[in-house]
Structure 1
Amino acid sequence: MNVAIIPARGGSKRIPKKNIKPFCGKPMVAHAIENALASPYVDKVVVSTDDESIANVARNYGAEVPFMRPAELADDYTGTSPVVRHALSTLLEKGWDINYCACVYATSPLLTTSLINSCYEMLMYADNTDYVFTAARFSFPIQRAILQTENGGVKPFDEFGITQRSQDLPPAFHDAGQLYWGHHKTWLDTTKRIFGANSKMVVMPDHLVQDIDTPEDWVRAELLYKILQSESVK
């Protein structure tokens, strides 16, 4: 079977209880759960959390919470991969027969089921691919970035790039922070990195990518979500 694992710890600082805070009518994590459950490529959705209130909300929306995440994996410094590895190892020990695993971020309400499907299909049909993830294009050439020095001055991030025309520079992309598909053996192999040479990306349109780390981000994401929902019903 294929599983979607949604990391959702309870210790968010800038937006308290962010993962279960109401977002356009339902808890934030519910959007990720429902979108993953709607995919024909996802058999079960598992929420990895250290918080009982998040666990209860997750179960109410159809996810499973067969374990509680240990405290050492629920701090401000633990990355995504160790959390997914812990979840997969625990599920395999419980006898789950897992093939592929999607990591879906709890704070990705703009991620659609069709994009979950597209990433999985790319993983299936692309040769020698470890991971497929969603990405977005930088709107401005990163080669023309500038840095502020300690004395308040500026210096180019890239001495060569700053001298080039924008249209002559190759596009650059960044992780959209939403979705990562890989075989469970790939996730468990610590030598294989999500952003390694054998990974591929599905480039998202800008209006489907929004970090939600601050109250301002939250407001912007809700506005985008409402616009997208109104457009989809026309």
Structure 2
Amino acid sequence: MGEGVLGVIPARGGSKRVPRKNVREIGGIPLVGHAVEQATEAALLEEVVVSTDDEEIAAAARKHGGRVPFPRPERLATDGATSAAVLDHALEWHADRGDEFDAVAMIQPTTPLRRASDIDETIDRWRSTDATAGISVSEYRAPPQWAVTMDETGTLRPYFEEDALWTDDDVPRSQDLSRLLHPNGAVFVADVPAFRAFDGFYTDRTVGYEMPISRSIDVDSPADLELARTLYATHDDPNEE
């Protein structure tokens, strides 16, 4: 197997909560364009390709310097298709042409405020350890320990430990609770054997690279899109905190 990281930008045409999401613009650049520019600028990706089934997305990616060497097969363009299958298809497409990579990275268009340095830092963090995968993470905006469920009558129940909210003592302050992180969707990387063995990036040895919340907006709703646009427009450097 060769050396280097293949960066794959998955950009399916179908999206329900935010129609045509991958070509919606932030600062005059479509989401797929932001991903292409960031991935292309990253120093630690040997090759970058966009995997899409949609001609408009492909054209937008190419406009911003993206490489779209193959159409995504229809079987991988459904709601049920997994990201792992999409990336494995990209690896196989290159292998059939004699191009082998020892690692694969996923750069999703839905995290448009990510920087090229976030991609490099995630890869470098992974490479500097004995881990088989690396994932970008960020802190929860609100402590997940405060999670509640609501039944059909509107009654609230604690989802986790009752002592976090249901207590006779003072409700614990957020700074007194354990600091928890979550994958933010910006960068995923793994060596190819582990990626295939675990069918994705969550292996038995996955390390995290923490990004600030300000660069971790994951566009999954119209409100997320507007928030990302606001953050982008209100910073001299939209990728700085």
**TM-score, L = length of structure 2:** 0.87
Offset of residue 231 of structure 1: 6.5
Does the residue aligned with 1:218 lie in a helix, a strand or coil? helix
Which structure 1 segments of 5+ residues have no match? none
Offset of residue 74 of structure 1: 1.2
Checking the alignment, whether the CA contact within 8 Å between 2:232 and 2:238 is kept in structure 1 is no
Q: 1:30 to 1:229 in 2, by over 3 A?
A: farther
Checking the alignment, whether the CA contact within 8 Å between 2:26 and 2:228 is kept in structure 1 is no
* Match among 151, 155, 158 for residue 157 of structure 2: 155
* Match among 95, 98, 105 for residue 95 of structure 1: 98
* Match among 52, 55, 61 for residue 52 of structure 1: 55
Offset of residue 156 of structure 1: 1.0
Which structure 2 segments of 5+ residues have no match? none
* Match among 28, 42, 46 for residue 31 of structure 2: 28
Number of aligned positions between the proteins: 231
- 1:60-96: CA deviations, max 9, x gaps? 3222222211122111232322211222122212221
Say if 2:230 is the partner of 1:213.
no
Q: Which residue of 2 aligns with 1:186?
A: 194
Offset of residue 148 of structure 1: 0.9
Say if 2:232 is the partner of 1:225.
yes
Offset of residue 110 of structure 1: 0.5
What aligned pairs does 1:1-234 form with structure 2 within 5 A after superposition?
A: 1-127=4-130, 129-162=131-164, 163=167, 165-166=172-173, 167-189=175-197, 191=198, 193-230=200-237
**TM-score, L = length of structure 1:** 0.89
State the alpha-carbon separation in 1 of the partners of residues 135 and 158 from structure 2.
Answer: 30
Amino acid at match of 2:93: T
Amino acid at match of 1:51: D
Checking the alignment, whether the CA contact within 8 Å between 1:37 and 1:43 is kept in structure 2 is no
State the alpha-carbon separation in 1 of the partners of residues 193 and 182 from structure 2.
Answer: 25
Q: Give percent identity, aligned residues only.
A: 32
Offset of residue 215 of structure 1: 2.1
Does the residue aligned with 2:193 lie in a helix, a strand or coil? helix
- 1:104-124: CA deviations, max 9, x gaps? 001221010111110111111
Amino acid at match of 1:205: P
State the alpha-carbon separation in 1 of the partners of residues 200 and 48 from structure 2.
Answer: 23
Q: Which moved more, 1:112-121 or 1:192-201?
A: 192-201
Q: 1:165 to 1:20 in 2, by over 3 A?
A: same
Q: 1:228 to 1:81 in 2, by over 3 A?
A: farther
